Amino acid sequence: MAISAPETYAVTVFLVIALGIFTRKLTLRVRYLFAGQGAVRRWDHIPTRVKNFVVYGIFQRKVAREWYAGVLHSFIFWAFVILGASVVEITAQAYEPGWRVALPAIAGVPLNGPLYLAQDAIALLAAFGVGMALYRRYVIRPKKLMHEGMRDATIVLCFILGIVVSLLFYNAAAIAGGTASLPGWKPLSAAIADGVMVRLDPAVWWHVFWWTHVVLLFSFLAYVPYSKHMHIVFAIVNTFFMDLTPKGALKKVDLEKSEGFGVNRVEQLSWRQLLDGYACTECGRCTDACPANATGKPLDPMRIITNIRDTLNDQGRAIVQGHVEGLPDMFQTVHSEEGIWACTTCYACVYECPVMNEHVPKIIEMRRNMVLTQGKMPSETVGAMRNIEQNYNPWGIGWDQRGKWADGLGVKTMAEIVASGEPIEVLYWVGCAASFDDRNRKVAQAFARILRRAGVRFAILGPEEKCTGDPARRLGNEYLAQTMIIANVETLNRYGVTRIVASCPHCFNAIRNEYPDFGGTYEVVHHSQFLEELLRAGRLKPTKEVLQFLTYHDACYLGRYNDIYEEPRDVLYRIPGVRVVEMRQCRDKGFCCGAGGARMWMAEPVGEKVSHRRLSHVEETRANAVATACPYCLIMLDDAAKTKNREDIRRFDIAELLERSLS
């Protein structure tokens, strides 16, 4: 059985057209990508990037976070990989009948045999995976997949099903006609040959299935650049160029040299930021994980990514030609201002994305544009920012009152320590919440008493401590944030501070991950880590029972941003009498309290309050208390319990519970 000369000419024309369509569209996409103006360097740490490429790109570790989607996607993905050789062999039949990929033999067994067996198996699994995908979209119907991409996804799934089924039947016809190579290694195809092809003319059906396979395969190739499934090409590239800087670090803005601040046009993004759009699989995991979206806010992380892609496609030609004047900006084509302000920067969208798209940095850049370029910010935040400017804290209480929480506790300031010449082990960075919020002052006092009980030599900055800049920076007010950061770094360096313990995850994250960009490099630990360290060293010995049945709430800036999950739990586990039950959404799947991203100082008039939704998760566990290790979370959970009339659910910081257990 062979392809005739006219068929060869016909298939050649078809292949040239299909490859031409694919190449032209791909080239255009790449050209648009590099029209981006933002600077980004992602060629560092090559061994780590190769590792990420393998782990997240090839083996798709994050896809498997959802087992059903992980199974079906792995079947389909590996079909593309393993069937590559069969694509070459089948296409080659048009030019050299009987041509096969030549593989060596090991111990007398040609490797073509195991390859054919793998191809037979993966073709069946891919068909099964397509069935799972269609069942999920049309029967299970998860909300995150119910968007206009359904039609495109269905077309692609039908293409894949047709390609793998036609391959099996092509092989079956070849086996029935006696022209198949190593038919014993193709058991599924052989079964089809025995069950179906015995009643048919194998020579005729060999041609039918050859043409079916080739037409479907190369039509699919031509279709891909026009669909969301362009991610087949770009997603794996995205994993290589993922951000390797600390997850909690925002990019530093050069306030003196920058001509503009933030972004309001797609070409102002870097090529790597634009690449996210073409890499997006439209799986909806980012939006599904978003606490703002879940509680009815107008924020859709997936739409930010896909709308950037669509805007780039629509405006790409004009951008490349330099004709951008009059084109609509990102707040018209990508996302509304209201949605951008709704973000809590909890990082769930980025964390869940299987192709390493970066949503939060884009949101921050859009906020920077509104605040620094357009002079816009939510009216409620104006007072908080003014308070930071005038008194170095969002609460607006006099800066000279910052150390008042420690009155009567024997806590010394760094100025006093330097004057006395005493050495210290650690600087306690108290933070604005623990200094000025009545509820969190009790936490600071408990933590200070614990440190004294453990014999830790520590000090505070007192009135010299300023807001770390986290709220201003997440709001988009980079100028105010840098003012605070530079002042704090100057103070810390002047005192020669080397080790810092912070009880606020936002302060901890800022000093640990962002201050190095401003000349402030220190060993920074969170108070949960420090307490666990003291317990492990035997400097603290909890003996008194604290009878509490509680659940632990993971703070976003402690967990997802800095991978601290075990230490706070270890502290709770060591307290006699404490029983801990986990919430359904815990650890790296935890749900935000609603305070991050400067949302602490914004109203929440739309939808359900994020803190109320989180309290409902606490209620599901039937625990009578919730513990956390973040002052923001404590404030939000405290407020939710009061407004929902659930003050029977008590709220604690882990330090308060630990202090109760110390004799």
Q: What's the whole-number mean pLDDT along residues 394-419?
A: 96
Q: What's the whole-number mean pLDDT along residues 523-542?
A: 98
For the chain, list the domains and their CATH numbers.
5-33+66-240 (1.20.950), 266-373 (1.10.1060.10), 379-536 (no CATH), 548-660 (3.40.50.10700)
- Percent of residues, the chain, with pLDDT higher than 70: 100
More confident residue, 110 or 212: 212
Pairwise CA distance, residues 482 & 21, whole Å = 49
What pLDDT does 258 receive? 79
User: Which element (helix H / strand E) includes 315?
Assistant: helix 301-321
**Alpha helix (H) residue ranges in 501-580:** 505-509, 527-536, 566-573
| 41-65 pLDDT tens trace | 788 999 999 999 999 999 999 999 9
Task: Enter the DSSP assignment of 257.
Answer: T
- Across 437-547, the runs of DSSP E, i.e. the strands, are 458-459, 499-502, 523-526
Q: What is the DSSP string of 68-82?
A: HHHHHHHHHHHHHHH
Q: Is the pLDDT of residue 109 over 80?
A: no
Q: Quick one: tokens of 42?
A: 């992602």
Query: How many other C-beta atoms are found inside a 10 Å radius of the C-beta of residue 193?
Result: 24
What pLDDT does 149 receive? 80
What pLDDT does 198 receive? 66
Q: Is the pLDDT of residue 260 over 90?
A: no
Lowest-pLDDT choice from 162-171, 190-199, 256-265, 398-407: 190-199
- Across 236-367, the runs of DSSP E, i.e. the strands, are none
Q: What's the whole-number mean pLDDT along residues 77-101?
A: 90
| 97-107 pLDDT tens trace | 888 888 887 87
Pairwise CA distance, residues 444 & 166, whole Å = 69
Q: Quick one: tokens of 319?
A: 């951008």
| Orientation angle between helical segments 527-536 and 438-453, nearest 10 degrees | 30
- Percent of residues, the chain, with pLDDT higher than 90: 87
> What value does the mean pLDDT of the chain take?
94
State the residue for tokens 């190769």.
50
What pLDDT does 245 receive? 93
State the residue for tokens 């004294």.
452
Q: What's the whole-number mean pLDDT along residues 490-502?
A: 98
What pLDDT does 200 receive? 74
Specify whether the CB–CB gap between 62 and 55 falls below 8 A.
Answer: no
Specify whether the CB–CB gap between 90 and 213 falls below 8 A.
Answer: yes
| 272-293 pLDDT tens trace | 999 999 999 999 999 999 999 9
What pLDDT does 661 receive? 97
Query: How many other C-beta atoms are found inside a 10 Å radius of the C-beta of residue 380?
Result: 12
Q: What residues contact 624, with CB distance under 8 A and at least 6 apart?
A: 548, 549, 550, 648, 649, 650
Q: What residues contact 48, with CB distance under 8 A and at least 6 apart?
A: 244
Q: Is the pLDDT of residue 257 over 90?
A: no
What pLDDT does 487 receive? 98
| 196-230 pLDDT tens trace | 776 778 889 999 999 999 999 999 999 999 988 89
Q: Which residues pair with residue 500 across a beta bridge?
A: 427, 524
Q: What's the whole-number mean pLDDT along residues 482-499?
A: 98
| 112-159 pLDDT tens trace | 889 999 999 999 999 999 999 999 999 999 999 988 788 999 999 999
